Chain A
Amino acid sequence: MLEIKDLHVKLADEDKEILKGLSLRVPSGEVHAIMGPNGSGKSTMSYVLSGKDGYEVTSGSATLDGADLLEMEPEERAAAGLFLAFQYPVEIPGVGNMTFLRTAVNSQRKLRGEEELSAAEFLKLVRTRAKSLKIDADMLKRPVNVGFSGGEKKRNEILQMAMLEPKMCILDETDSGLDVDAMKLVAEGVNALRDGKRSFLVITHYQRLLDHIKPDVVHIMADGRIIKTGGPELALEVEHNGYADLLAEVA
């Protein structure tokens, strides 16, 4: 279970508070969605949870199955089971996609004290998982995300997620910029990973992704806090009426 309590975060080198008392619980096995206007702090939340530099936590806590995430190095958080599908996946020239995947999988195993996968085991695994996401051999050979289309980058994120088998998956606008077919592929990839224990936090602006990945709970975030939590119907309300009414309610 991911548990965030009254989290306050400011920019490290500027006196600007971005998360202003964020609280959130995602029990294991559940899918939660976060919606909210641009600039409300959704990406910042996912970065802070995964340990990106440049932010300062001034108060509050964030734990994964009771373990203090904020005390860990980013790679330890990953090994502890946290995964972030980036809103803007990064291109890494000169590092092969396959090499990167294998290094990541084995680094996590090492950090957890597990045995590393052999080249053959890894290859077999990556081939089947890539295939279901329609990722071809060429994409696996190319440098990480270099020259990938928007849709290819997002599918590559899901492939990484499938290979790393995290406990807690955060998807930051994974549907943005995808056509319907690509979005379906991504949604299928996510659904294939739902096993009753793994949790998901899906950040999105659109109901259409939630048609495919059915959330148990929907949160609305504004100005660095969760302002409303409800069932799937909350997403439909946003889809029809926008955020204006919800924002007015709390104002």
Chain B
Amino acid sequence: MRRAQALAAKREAAAERLSRGDLPKGGAWITAARENALERLHQMGLPARRDEYWRFTRPEALIAAQAAPVPLMIDEDAPQFGELDRLKLVFVDGVLNVAQSDALAMENVEITTLEQAATQDIHWARDLFGVLESRGQAPVERPLAALNTATATQGLLIRVTGKAPRPISLTYLRADDAGDAVVHHVIRLEKGAELTLLESGPAAARLSKVIEVDVADGASFDHIRTQGRDHGRRALTHLFARIGAEASFKSFSLTVNGALTRNEYVITLEGDDSHATVSGAVAGDGNDGAFHQDDTVFITHAGERCESRQVFKKVLRNGATGVFQGKILVRQSAQKTDGYQISQALLLDEDSQFLAKPELEIYADDVACSHGATVGAIDEDALFYMVSRGVPRRQAQDMLVLAFLSEALDEIDNEAIRDDIQTRLELWVERHSA
């Protein structure tokens, strides 16, 4: 009875939040996709505080009809990935800015905007847009991803047919204190294709982003993102991925600052002999206003002999909160699965906290899976060893903080990109050194 009541309340909230009349207009295929998403949303209802999946992160600020304004930050650091040769596409307040962007063209890559594709009656993305999101709604519901599918008018549809000669970088700038950005990208890597996708920037006071990635057999997708430095910003991101056989998927995220960030990953290894890694480095300081960062990962092994890795490292101080919910589900078909998961927090004081829920659910008998979650403080013995050699305490602590995070950064294969991220992190550590 209680549950029925709770569900009714959640559905009522969803109906209030969005109705058919609110859906953006478009061609037949996208209208159908949006209506289906709306239907899913109305069935599930909006997340509520009591939901198990939202135990460690309060959903209210992400659900509210209007985003709370957040002052623009003048970020004086060198632009992220600025030195790298890349196809640069810029969004301002969540809208693609053609003037600041390169042309939407590159060898082996087709790029269309969601806006353009939506006016057409038929498009390749029809088979993917909202489809991976919809499949990712079980066994755990993600209503806010459905809300995104139903309402997003901005995003890119990227089809990669071979090796992309340069990374594509998406930079999300802000021009306004207030406002929401709702962005939805669909990426299809055809057989044997290769793409590196870079993302950076705060996007908006509140960002809702869904990326659906389909990695066909033998293809390789590498994703590296940094989430902007604006202190008050909030973001909810979903990354849905389907991975074919002998394929590779990697995603790394750096989060520094931000009042609220939740990154959900829903990864399915469908084919045999594939690899998936999701990793993240997080540095948060509650004195910047608030800091709450949540990585929620669900990796399903269906194919045989696949390997998956989850590596998350979080440094937290002054009342910052880190959350990790990570699950490996190994289906009966997924023999010889190798699953690895580690989440570790370094708390620099007693006001900060790390909430972790690692989970394994295994139906195959021949698998190797390991997981571990740890919380620790700065190693005083290491610190003394360093200062006894003449390194000032502050600097020694900064070195230990960076050393702690380096295990996550090591998951980035490309050295130039890793150095770029490392630099951003060093600047943050220097600014927040105490």
Within 8 Å CB of A164, what residues of B? Answer: 389-390
Q: Write out, one digit per residue, whether chain B residues 380-402 have a CB within 8 A of any chain A CB (1) or not (0).
A: 11101111111111010001101
CA distance A74 to B390 in the complex (A): 7
**Could you tell me the distance in whole angstroms from the C-beta of A155 to the nearest C-beta in chain B?**
16
Which listed residue, B392, B393, B403, touches A92 by the CB 8 Å rule?
A: B403
Which listed residue, B380, B389, B406, touches A104 by the CB 8 Å rule?
A: B389
* Contact status B385-A75, CB under 8 Å: no
Interface stretch among A30-38, A49-57, A204-212, A230-238? A49-57
**Could you tell me the distance in whole angstroms from the C-beta of B190 to the nearest C-beta in chain A?**
39
Within 8 Å CB of B381, what residues of A? Answer: 90
Residues of A36-76 whose CB lies within 8 A of B: 50-53, 73-75
Name the residue on B nearest A50 (C-beta).
Answer: B388
Known contacts A74-B384, A78-B387; A93/B392 CB under 8 A: no
Sample 17 A-B pairs with CB under 8 A, ordered by A number.
Answer: A50-B388, A53-B380, A74-B384, A74-B393, A75-B393, A78-B389, A90-B384, A92-B403, A100-B386, A103-B399, A104-B386, A104-B390, A105-B390, A107-B392, A107-B395, A108-B390, A143-B403
Which listed residue, A79, A93, A105, touches B403 by the CB 8 Å rule?
A: A93
Within 8 Å CB of A84, what residues of B? Answer: 388
Interface of A toward B, CB cutoff 8 Å: 50-53, 73-75, 77-79, 84, 86, 89-95, 100, 103-105, 107-108, 111, 143, 160, 164
State the majority secondary structure of interface residues on B: helix
Which listed residue, B380, B390, B399, touches A78 by the CB 8 Å rule?
A: B390
* Contact status A94-B403, CB under 8 Å: yes
CA distance A74 to B402 in the complex (A): 22
* Contact status B387-A74, CB under 8 Å: yes
Within 8 Å CB of A79, what residues of B? Answer: 390
Q: Does B404 sit at the interface, judged by CB under 8 A?
A: yes
Q: Does B411 sit at the interface, judged by CB under 8 A?
A: no
**Could you tell me the distance in whole angstroms from the C-beta of A12 to the nearest C-beta in chain B?**
13
Within 8 Å CB of A91, what residues of B? Answer: 382
Interface centre among A77, A103, A160 (most CB of B within 10 A): A103
**Could you tell me the distance in whole angstroms from the C-beta of A222 to the nearest C-beta in chain B?**
26
* Contact status A92-B386, CB under 8 Å: yes
